[in-house]
Chain A
């Protein structure tokens, strides 16, 4: 039975199937790599559960209870089998379930990332379009310099500066995101301001520059020239003709930025002690809580794979040439 007989000649569904399969493969490979990496780190969770004050016998007992003595391959297989059924197992360093630990943290991070993205995307498109439309002018040059500065600013550096100036010095916003992970940031929305600001500022440069380049290119193209000769107002030309032409690269760059945001969030969360997946990842790695680390990695990889799939699908939908392409 061929794929074609299952899905018919529909290129789109075949594309989706292929991407789903490769996405699942990606998740598997990343989890395996993480598993190996964490087991290679010196020490295990038993050390952190019992630590310095435990007798060697007690440590051995804890190790046995956590199944840390079993062969690595067997442990990974067991974990994988459970994980595909949606069970991430118990944490090693606390009596709770991994999913129970990750869920509120993931929600907090997604809230932070969504607000940052909601500000970032329109801002990037607007500044990119503005600079591109006025390519070569002083406004363009100014924006270009600013975006380059923002692009090269590391999150931890800007985060620390903002925490100091806006938090400690001027008392405008809390420099530390002190809130109960389970309750979420809405109990005190002010804690979101500085992490969001850091994420938006440091991530704005790249998409803005790409959009600017594409808009500038489109503005010097024949379509725009014809439109201008037809007397169409300049603003309409930018929005309707130039921007539409860079829809595909725009989606691409925005999705890349969103994925990058997921990485940046780990640093930013640690600067502001924001109880999300970033701070959890650092803590779990330090404590060698393999189950939590794996649960987190699997979750993040699935999100990555989904965003990439969505991006590619959107690009195909908005690009007529690709829509009819045969895979």
Chain B
């Protein structure tokens, strides 16, 4: 695949520049994975400058913002985690795990024990060295906190896992898992210092940036970690500013108050494309806005109803209207930018006739359902398109609009309503499954309680050969495609806008393959 070749070349170039400690990844920048730039190409060809302050705006969570890498909720928190902390591995542009703090990760014959050799000489921001003790503590703490990590790392047997020497850890797993090197790339697997319990004022990691000042809900001021084990970042200072309002974020960019804005709503993109001095970068990714149907609640307990609704949505129109054409049509599955994505499954099309037939077969006839949604990333617009397109199939959808802040409110809406709205960012099928499709998953939005599915998933995870593993994952995706509870109508293109002074944004704005924004360390600014 040409894309893979390009990325490999760029990786090589990056590696060479790291060796030389010359910060000129200009060619690599041009070759950034899956990135299209609407703006002056000249900026790309320039040599990165060392120094300066870059002010970037993110969407955050206000006063409830946290620095704890295991309890994150917002994209801002994820970005900050990737700036301050490192993990054992990261997901690279190909969607494959790449070593970070680990120098080697070796499984035993059946992948039930993984030996991790740490990179020597890595130091935390306070100068203390990274040891195996910190790594073991990080996982123990992540599991103990009871967030996503609790299920994501439940395969680790903490009792049996041990520190072999200062730089070697032996992870003993409850069941064989050939993807353990992918599992530990998760944000929650960020390596913290042994004994850390307090994240209320600052956070100490081994990442490319150090926290200078953190005001929850307002800003995070970061500075270069001179002792970084990789290539030190170019910026003297990175100011991560929290601007939740879309209009305000764009206004701040256009008036020069900030240099970069992430999460640009699709409808602002065309407006920004023509603005002199600014550019827009479109990434390719796996961010999927979706509707979920709970299989334990009528009428969605009938497979025919779920299939009928999936056929009754005009996906093309949804992408056109809700995402302003900036995205691709979804196929009711997650993670299209990852190797495990089942590409052979045919695209589900809008077919109201087939939907009507399915409902007749189930003896339902006219169907009335209520869809709960909120005005975020085109979900409300898509719901409106859905309502119209479903009429042809004899389905009457009434839309209940709630505040975006309530979308994941578990006391009123989330996991409560039979037909709701969700969004999954950048995750692969298997990551999504661990969090949302197994009986033990607490974000099991579709009430997918199927022991056979769980068993097949565990079997797939144990398959040592990546191709065989992905084939098994594909079979599971097929079963979900056949009668699961998700309507993944589109895959959103991440849009990042920035002033022409900003360089090295390709990794940040480009392919969104992992859950963590990558490339935050490559940013630089003309000054």
Residue numbers of A with Cβ under 8 A of B are: 42-44, 47-59, 61, 91, 93-96, 101, 160, 163-164, 167-168, 171, 174-176, 178, 180-182, 270, 272-273, 275, 283-284, 286-287, 289, 292
Contact = CB atoms under 8 A, between A and B. Distances in A.
Contact of A42 (B61, B255, B258, B412): B412
Interface in B137-192: 145-148, 150-151
Nearest to A289: B63
Contact of A182 (B145, B215, B255, B258): B215
A52 B421 CA distance: 13
Contact of B63 (A167, A176, A272, A287): A287
Given A55-B146, A273-B243, A273-B245, A176 B411 contact: no
The interface residues of chain B, by DSSP majority, are classed as loop
Contacts of A270: 245
B406 interface: yes
Contacts of B216: 94
Contact of A176 (B255, B403, B412, B443): B255
Contacts of B377: none
B405 to A, nearest CB: 4
B73 A52 contact: yes
Nearest to A170: B255
Given A55-B146, A55-B150, A50 B71 contact: yes
5 contacts: A42-B411, A47-B411, A94-B63, A96-B63, A167-B255
A270 B62 CA distance: 14
A88 B460 CA distance: 54
Given A47-B408, A53-B443, A273-B245, A180 B257 contact: no
B408 A52 contact: yes
Contacts of B414: 52
Contact of B148 (A53, A174, A181, A292): A53
Question: Which of B200, B247, B255 gathers the greatest number of chain A CB atoms within 10 Å?
Answer: B255
Contacts of A59: 410
A270 B64 CA distance: 18
Contacts of A164: 251
B409 A54 contact: no
Interface string B229-248: 00000000000010101011
Contacts of B443: 52-53
B241 A178 contact: yes
A115 B108 CA distance: 71
Contacts of B215: 180-182
A144 B200 CA distance: 55
A180 B255 contact: no
Interface string B62-91: 111000000111000000000000000000
Contacts of B63: 91, 93-94, 96, 101, 283-284, 287, 289, 292
A54 B248 contact: no
Range class of the B interface residue count: 35 or more
Contacts of B61: 48
Contacts of B251: 163-164, 167-168, 175-176
Nearest to A272: B248
Interface of B: 61-64, 71-73, 145-148, 150-151, 200, 215-219, 241, 243, 245, 247-248, 251-252, 254-258, 403, 405-406, 408-414, 442-443
A43 B219 CA distance: 27
A43 B406 contact: yes
Contacts of A283: 62-63, 217
Given A167-B255, A273-B245, A287-B64, A51 B405 contact: no
Question: Which of A42, A163, A292 gathers the greatest number of chain B CB atoms within 10 Å?
Answer: A42
Contacts, number: 115
Nearest to A283: B62
A61 B151 CA distance: 17
Given A58-B150, A178-B257, 8 more contacts: A47-B408, A50-B71, A54-B442, A168-B255, A175-B257, A283-B217, A287-B405, A289-B63
B62 A180 contact: no
Nearest to B405: A286
Nearest to A191: B257
Question: Which of A44, A101, A286 gathers the greatest number of chain B CB atoms within 10 Å?
Answer: A286
A91 B63 CA distance: 9
Contacts of A61: 146
B200 to A, nearest CB: 5
Nearest to B407: A52
B62 A42 contact: no
B218 A54 contact: no
A53 to B, nearest CB: 4
A26 to B, nearest CB: 28
Contacts of A167: 251, 255
B243 A176 contact: yes
Nearest to A93: B64
A176 B245 CA distance: 10
Contact of B147 (A43, A50, A181, A284): A50
Nearest to A273: B248
A180 B411 CA distance: 33
A41 to B, nearest CB: 9
A95 B412 CA distance: 25
Contacts of A49: 64
Contact of B412 (A43, A101, A163): A43
A273 B257 CA distance: 13
A160 B255 CA distance: 14
Contacts of A163: 251
Question: Which of B71, B245, B405, B412 gathers the greatest number of chain A CB atoms within 10 Å?
Answer: B405
B409 A42 contact: yes
A197 to B, nearest CB: 15
Contacts of B241: 178
Contacts of B245: 270, 273
A58 B145 contact: yes
A37 to B, nearest CB: 15
A284 B63 CA distance: 8
A48 B73 CA distance: 9
Nearest to B239: A178
Nearest to A45: B64
Contacts of A287: 62-64, 405
B8 to A, nearest CB: 34
B71 A160 contact: no
A176 B219 contact: no
Contacts of B411: 42-44, 47
Contacts of A91: 63
B406 A54 contact: no
A225 to B, nearest CB: 55
Given A175-B252, A283-B63, A53 B73 contact: yes
